[in-house]
Amino acid sequence: MWVQLGHAYGQLGDAEAAHVAYLNATQAQPDLAAGHRHLGYVRRSTSRHEEGMRSLARALFLDPADLDVAELLLAEHGAAGMQASLAKAALAHADETRPTRRPIGLPASWLRSRARKAARRQDWKEAERLYAALTEIRATDPDAFLQLGHALNEQNKQQDAELAYRRAIACDPLYADPWLHLGYVLTAQGQDASAREAFAVVLRLAPDRLAAHPLLSRAERAGPGAAPPVESVPGLVLPPGLGERETAIWLLLAAKVQGRH
């Protein structure tokens, strides 16, 4: 309704009234690309050029198939600048629409895709920004928090990474990966006892996930005999019900855990 009202005011030549109508459209339906697109157009036609370009970036973020808007942004900013403006639009959208638990849609898919590309080129700061925005949209998605933790960990932000991994665990306590990487970052912070607790959960949920740990190659080659005796690890209490292989892995980790993802 607001978009149509804006069109009507535009036909009458009342740009200011059209601006108000389109602004109301973006507030009433923040996920509707059309409202942001027409708000951008009317802002560019007045003295609000920079605001208009930000609105158009939001519109393209919400509707990546809009080639007309893409051409305008490309002409204005160039390829690199357009991607930067889209990233800012994604963060602004996440900030303005939280809290939300909507199902994943185009904005979340776009954020995840851009974040993965940033991670592949090892641009961890950009990956952190995008995954942080994704967690605002997908507040109960454990993988979003897991990937945010990885991006933080790669920047040696272990405390922040720990919080991200714990958020992932809170979303899905039976998801083994966050427990595994929580163990790694706790180890990096010298919190070996807490790390062993995290690894204990991994042993319960998915023992094979620990097979790649640098200390575990000896356990794979030599079997239980590679592990130190229980009495050599003061205060160690083994979880009940472990098999021989899991016990060997547990003792190796308890004796000396090192390395990070």
Q: Which residues contact 184 (CB under 8 A, 6 or more apart)?
A: 153, 195, 259, 260, 261
Handedness of CA 145, 146, 152, 157 (dihedral sign): positive
Mean pLDDT of the 22-47 span = 85
pLDDT > 70 in the chain, percent: 74
Contact 251, 230 (CB under 8 A): yes
SS3 14: coil
pLDDT digits (tens, 9 = 90+) for 213-233: 544 444 343 344 444 454 555
The domain limits of the chain are 1-97
Per-residue confidence at 127, pLDDT binned at 50, 70, 90?
A: very high
Distance between CA atoms of 69 and 64, rounded to whole angstroms? 9
Distance between CA atoms of 36 and 56, rounded to whole angstroms? 6
Per-residue confidence at 6, pLDDT binned at 50, 70, 90?
A: confident
Distance between CA atoms of 251 and 204, rounded to whole angstroms? 15
Residue 220: predicted pLDDT: 41
42 pLDDT more than 80: yes
Residue type, 204: R
Share the mean pLDDT of the chain: 76
149 pLDDT more than 80: yes
Contact 56, 70 (CB under 8 A): no
CATH 1.25.40.10 fits 1-97, yes or no: yes
Residue 70: predicted pLDDT: 85
Question: Closest by alpha carbon to 153, among 175, 180, 133?
Answer: 180
Contact 9, 18 (CB under 8 A): yes
Question: Closest by alpha carbon to 138, among 130, 158, 47?
Answer: 130
pLDDT digits (tens, 9 = 90+) for 45-85: 888 888 888 888 888 888 888 888 888 888 888 877 777 78
pLDDT digits (tens, 9 = 90+) for 150-181: 999 999 999 999 999 998 888 888 888 898 88
142 pLDDT more than 80: yes
